[in-house]
Structure 1
């Protein structure tokens, strides 16, 4: 029909035909607009302005058909802008309020598509659509509920509206749709809850409204779209500590693992993200591993999409806080692909993979395997020039790897000392603590004691002992203690003013601080008469 040249005369009828012609022409354009290319052609033919006029002041039939046509035309990004500029939003919101059943349905759908544009989100909300859409979700027809839930999902891309939509009472009826709606309603409602669950307050409200169990059901037995959106919603909800427990209790872990194994690409990514967060608590680590998650997560790290790799690496990071799983993850072949991500992944992949290697490197055998897989050089590169998170996790990974004597040598040969000292001087709190501890482990080696001091480590370590966080004080005291195994370093450490703050830690520090500070003072005093006097005087 479009190829036969029908679009232009149909637009003419919408503009200047009889009432019946206008309605039928609008309906025909709506049907033609189901085809993507026609959405462009219809807009180019000038249809949008007269369709908006029908929505404003046409007969009931014209309003419904014009709203339907605009709904389909608004699936095109450029058309979203043109439709809004033509003044469609206000009359569409009016239809939500006082239109016929069909008009309300089509208007909700049109506003939902328009709401994928950021400026339109603001215009739609300011026109008073949120409360009206919530009413449709609560008590509308099946079609109204589906389109209204979808519109709320798109409006909730805006963080401000995540709050307003919840306050308008949307959460409870959306949960009802997830529980007992049609397939389309379930999918749209899950999508809306996913977005609403991005803020802390709503995570609690959504769980209290009973959403977790039906979301777990969708993950298990929903359509493909429902599974993906439900997994994504659980991922967002699992940022809340109590929800981590509730999601596991609702039986979500096993079906999430199934999605990681055999879902679509989107399902795999969302499920891996959910498991990553769920694995932050000890009980869930066990349940996730028992459900068989480790092998498919490793597969995603090896050969998944960019998003899958990042989420799966993060899940392995959290699972690897468990000593038993450090072994199982390594046996499943995770180390080599994690090292590859550290070397050449995206920023997010590098950070998650470095964190996973950090936990895996708590295990002595893994320390050897990780070094053999070539991890040390790229970890040093991250310490040197990575993002804030990459620097922190890479420094901590090197700290754990440096518990192995051979690795101590390799880490220094890779040039780690200077960037670690830089982190101690000017890094974030976490970077300072982990870098200080990494230097402590490296300083067990006599040659490294000299190199670390030559890199300028003493002064910033003393600063940490004086005024750092509790963790920084403890680790810096331990590092100074190891450096003080060298006779020249004993003198330099004392000259840098370390003795007084070390004595303060012995007097009033935490248990760990007292232990490390006492060890440092012991080494400083060993065969050094001047330091013995200074320590006594302090």
Structure 2
């Protein structure tokens, strides 16, 4: 039945209703899209018809029910590999991480969505993201680097952050005049460093890092690789 609803053209009107000035219409359309997004046949269609951005915007709502309906719909869309790059390109990972969610059920749903995205950062999905990290606009490149710092496995760190210049993108954020970008870059480096310690004997980073601490720590972890990659020669 859900597939038939989509085939009859229901998705686009529902997505448009997400931006209605009427709260009840937004709530009901998010609920309907959430139910449709539980079917694998509908997930890519909802995202590719522009459903991701308005659903992510609804996470800022002060209405707990509306917020939860949007989070549930996003959880469904994250199940499809074809939607992962779109999630990251529009800043969806940062939105999920930074959101202030009213009810515990929404917090749990968001956590499961991030976990679902994390599980898909491999194979062709990772290859496509690395390609975008080379050729996309700088804003998108940075969003990808930030998302991968949070979602990638420790085993993929070298491929992403040394071989494909992800580390340069994160370090570049620390030089931004935008305080939010500095904070995002610092936190991403801190999380990346903590993951790296699972493969390194170096002690874990301190619990309250400043950007400078993060830079020094991440460089110390990756020093052998950085020195080769960037032509750094030690005097020791």
TM-score by length of 2: 0.53
Q: How many residues align?
A: 155
Asked if the contact 1:130–1:165 (Cα under 8 Å) also holds between the matched residues in 2, the reply is yes
Query: Quick one: which of 106, 109, 113 aligns to 1:229?
Result: 109
Aligned partner of 1:186 in structure 2 is: 67
Per the alignment, do residues 168 and 319 of structure 1 end up closer, same or farther by CA in structure 2, a change over 3 Å counting?
A: same
Shift of the alpha carbon at 1:143? 1.5
Asked if the contact 1:171–1:206 (Cα under 8 Å) also holds between the matched residues in 2, the reply is yes
Q: Runs of 4+ in structure 1 displaced over 3 angstroms?
A: 240-245, 277-286, 318-321
Per the alignment, do residues 221 and 134 of structure 1 end up closer, same or farther by CA in structure 2, a change over 3 Å counting?
A: closer
Asked if the contact 1:177–1:186 (Cα under 8 Å) also holds between the matched residues in 2, the reply is yes
Q: d(CA) in 2 for partners of 1:170 and 1:149? A: 10
**Structure 1 gap segments, 5+ residues each:** 1-119, 254-273, 291-317, 329-538
**Does 2:28 correspond to 1:147?**
yes
Aligned partner of 1:167 in structure 2 is: 48
Q: d(CA) in 2 for partners of 1:187 and 1:229? A: 8
State the secondary structure of the residue aligned to 2:91: coil
**Does 2:90 correspond to 1:209?**
yes
Asked if the contact 1:197–1:233 (Cα under 8 Å) also holds between the matched residues in 2, the reply is yes
Asked if the contact 2:2–2:36 (Cα under 8 Å) also holds between the matched residues in 1, the reply is yes
Q: d(CA) in 2 for partners of 1:208 and 1:130? A: 22
Per the alignment, do residues 285 and 207 of structure 1 end up closer, same or farther by CA in structure 2, a change over 3 Å counting?
A: closer
Per the alignment, do residues 227 and 147 of structure 1 end up closer, same or farther by CA in structure 2, a change over 3 Å counting?
A: same
Q: d(CA) in 2 for partners of 1:192 and 1:157? A: 8
Aligned partner of 2:12 in structure 1 is: 131
Asked if the contact 1:197–1:237 (Cα under 8 Å) also holds between the matched residues in 2, the reply is yes
State the secondary structure of the residue aligned to 1:138: coil
**Structure 2 gap segments, 5+ residues each:** 130-142, 162-187, 205-236
Asked if the contact 2:30–2:70 (Cα under 8 Å) also holds between the matched residues in 1, the reply is yes
Shift of the alpha carbon at 1:173? 0.9
Asked if the contact 1:154–1:192 (Cα under 8 Å) also holds between the matched residues in 2, the reply is yes
**Does 2:187 correspond to 1:287?**
no
Q: Equivalences for 1:332-481 in 2 at 5 Å?
A: none
**Does 2:201 correspond to 1:324?**
yes
Q: d(CA) in 1 for partners of 2:20 and 2:145? A: 33
* Higher percent of residues as helix: 1
Q: Deviations over 1:166-192 (max 9, x none)?
A: 232211211211234622222211221
Asked if the contact 1:285–1:322 (Cα under 8 Å) also holds between the matched residues in 2, the reply is no
Q: d(CA) in 1 for partners of 2:154 and 2:27? A: 33
Asked if the contact 1:187–1:225 (Cα under 8 Å) also holds between the matched residues in 2, the reply is yes
Shift of the alpha carbon at 1:133? 1.2
Query: Quick one: which of 222, 239, 246 aligns to 2:146?
Result: 246
Q: d(CA) in 1 for partners of 2:155 and 2:73? A: 25
Higher relative contact order (CA 8 A, sep 6+): 2
How large is the RMSD of aligned CA atoms in angstroms?
3.4
